[in-house]
Amino acid sequence: MTRRALIVANDTYEHEGLRRLLAPAADAEALARVLGDPSIGDFDVRVVSNEPAYVIQEQIEDLFADSRPDDVLLLHFSCHGLKGESGELFFATRNTRPNRLGSTAVSADFVQRCMRASRSRGIVLLLDCCYGGAFSRGVRVRAAGDVDVLDNFPGGSRGRAVITASSAMEYAFEGDRLADDKSHPSVFTSALVEGLETGDADRDQDGWISLNELYDYVFDRVRERNPYQTPSRDIEMQGELYVARSNRPTGETRPPLPPPEKPAPKRHGRLWAAAAAVTVVLAAGAVAAVLLDGADDPGATAAKDGPLPADNFEARSPWRLGIRDNIQGNDVGCTVSMTHNDTGQPIPLPTGVYGSVSYQIRRDGTFNWSVNDPGCLVTLESGAGSVALPFVQTVYGDTDAFAAPSQVAIRVIDFRGNSNCEFTLHDAADGGQLDFGSMAPGGDVLTLDPSGRSQVYVSNAYCVARITAG
């Protein structure tokens, strides 16, 4: 197995309309340092800075050619993204001419063809092209509007992932120069470097930084620094792909980074970093949440925080169930079946989970559970959790509990391709529904009423949303 990375950075352009960028070459050098560090990324890294299109195309083809299934290949672009006459995406190079994109820029179609021809089952494409670039005076723009980045890299093949600095790239004009834009290319790459170098992207604190953990970290950091920019992802992987080791001490000696589609190492600690220092939130009149010290049912085990015990366990409300897609050789997602033994009633849970979900459980007693694939990680966290407004909900399902304002305001950041997003507000004391609403693309803010409750949480099945006080 080899781990190879190609970092393409262009901040110098011969064409007058493509000159203003914030030093992506410098950011790329920082990313190359972290990826190439044997104690972090352990990649064989090559950086190509300010080269013409034909040189970059040759390097891209070399990266993907003659690869093996266990190889991990990473390609990073930091440059202008341009839109062709038919709406296709191009990456600008040193010699790019906006009216001759086919021969002077690198097309997304070329990159896609190289990726499809590769035998590797672990391909990562990182696109730091936050704005489209401007055309010089006198060049007619025939294809106006945004470029949807992920549409230019359609799915359908397992073992590839695309993470972009924003969901769409648009033109920005200021005469014949690139206009000042609220989103800068360096924000995305800087967040990548920061998450890998500090180890803060290791959200479950198991000593490894997975691709999904890295995306979640970058998403949060970019949104904190620039609310106008929304990173996006399209990941089709069997199992977990580990981008790097974490520099944080874990108390164990870690083996070399595993290849794609191999079983994940044993997890230690909790599923999400947000729960690493959990605070139990109490609603007015509620009883403190504790785990049972002993099980009344001889066949049940008193559950501890972390992975659920096999078959039967006993817990006391409130607690949270986490499901994480660590699937090995299964394309149908994670489906957890759970029954409340005392009543015989099933606990309603989603089927075919990809990624991560979290659910608040408001039942005491003993439970029986099973999962469709041993590669799915199922965990328990005691209490209702604690989060402060404002925050961004990036894990599907239920949020942690938070102090209820007079109104809860929800703004959708990413519809994830859905025609609408539905949100339910719950009482954190008993899980009861307080209010419900939905939002379609183009909507403004959804407001939900906590009905005088002191602690609440929000349920959301599919979308990324920012939750604030109304």
With CA atoms as reference, report the closest residue to 124 among 161, 176, 97. Answer: 161
How is residue 273 annotated by DSSP? G
Give the chain's radius of gyration (CA, Å): 24
In this structure, how many other beta carbons lie within 10 angstroms of the beta carbon of residue 164? 26
291 pLDDT above the threshold of 60: no
Q: What is the pLDDT of residue 257?
A: 61
Residue 318: cis peptide before it, omega within 30 degrees of 0: yes
**With bands split at pLDDT 50, 70 and 90, how would you rate the model's confidence at 171?**
very low
The string of pLDDT tens digits covering residues 236-280 is: 766 678 899 987 655 444 555 655 443 333 332 222 222 222 222
* pLDDT at 212 (0 to 100): 86
Q: Is the pLDDT of residue 337 over 50?
A: yes
Residues 110-156: tens digit of each pLDDT: 998 898 888 888 899 988 875 433 322 233 333 334 445 555 554 44
Judge whether residue 24 has pLDDT over 80. no
**How many CB atoms are located within 10 Å of the residue 224 CB?**
11
pLDDT tier for residue 312 given thresholds of 50, 70 and 90: confident
Q: What is the mean pLDDT of residues 341-356?
A: 82
Please give the average per-residue pLDDT across 269-296, as a whole number: 27
Numbered ranges of CATH 3.40.50.1460 in the chain? 3-245
In angstroms, the CA 91 to CA 82 distance is 6
pLDDT of residue 7: 94
Is 348 in contact with 366 (CB distance < 8 Å)?
Answer: no
**Whole-angstrom Cα distance, residue 240 to residue 3?**
15
Residues 6+ apart with CB under 8 A from 100: none
Mean of the pLDDT values across residues 36-45?
93
Q: Which two tokens stand for residue 321?
A: 């169930």
**What pLDDT, in 10s, does the model give residues 201-239?**
988 888 889 888 898 898 888 877 766 667 777 777 666
Predicted pLDDT at 306: 82
User: What is residue 203's DSSP assignment?
Assistant: T
Fold for domain 273-382?
A: Jelly Rolls (2.60.120)
CA 177 remoteness from chain centre = 33
Whole-number pLDDT of residue 362: 87
| Predicted pLDDT at 393 | 83
SS3 content of the chain, % helix, strand, coil (to 5): 15, 30, 55
Q: How confident is the model at residue 37 (pLDDT cuts 50, 70, 90)?
A: very high
Determine how β-strand 312-315 pairs with β-strand 301-302.
parallel
Instruction: Give the per-residue pLDDT at 229.
Output: 67
Higher confidence at residue 254 or residue 35?
35
CB atoms within 10 A of CB 247: 16
Q: List the structure tokens of 244.
A: 């790097």
390: preceding bond cis by omega (within 30 degrees): yes
CATH code for the domain defined by 391-469: 2.60.40
CATH 2.60.120 residue spans of the chain: 273-382
Residues of the chain with CATH 2.60.40: 391-469
> Is pLDDT larger for residue 294 or for residue 17?
17
Identify the pLDDT of residue 249.
55
pLDDT at position 346: 87
What pLDDT, on a 0 to 100 scale, did the predictor assign at position 265? 35
Cβ atoms of residues 457 and 401 within 8 Å: yes
Over pLDDT 90: what percentage of the chain? Answer: 26
Structure tokens at 372: 């469709």
Please name the residue that has the structure tokens 């719950």: 426
In single-letter form, the type of residue at position 190 comes to S
Across 68-79, b (16+ Cβ under 10 Å) vs e yields eebbbbbbbbbb
Which H or E run includes 25?
Answer: helix 24-36
Euclidean distance between CA atoms 385 and 394, whole angstroms: 15
> So what's the pLDDT on residue 175?
32
Does residue 29 or residue 384 have the better pLDDT?
Answer: 384
What pLDDT does residue 80 have?
80
CA neighbours closer than 13 Å in the CB half-sphere of residue 154: 4
Answer whether residue 45 shows pLDDT above 60: yes
Q: Which range is least confidently modeled, 222-231, 332-341, 366-375, 386-395?
A: 222-231
More confident residue, 167 or 277: 167
Higher pLDDT, 53 or 310: 53
Average pLDDT of the chain is 75
CATH code at 3-245: 3.40.50.1460
Cα–Cα distance, 75 to 162 (Å, whole number): 10
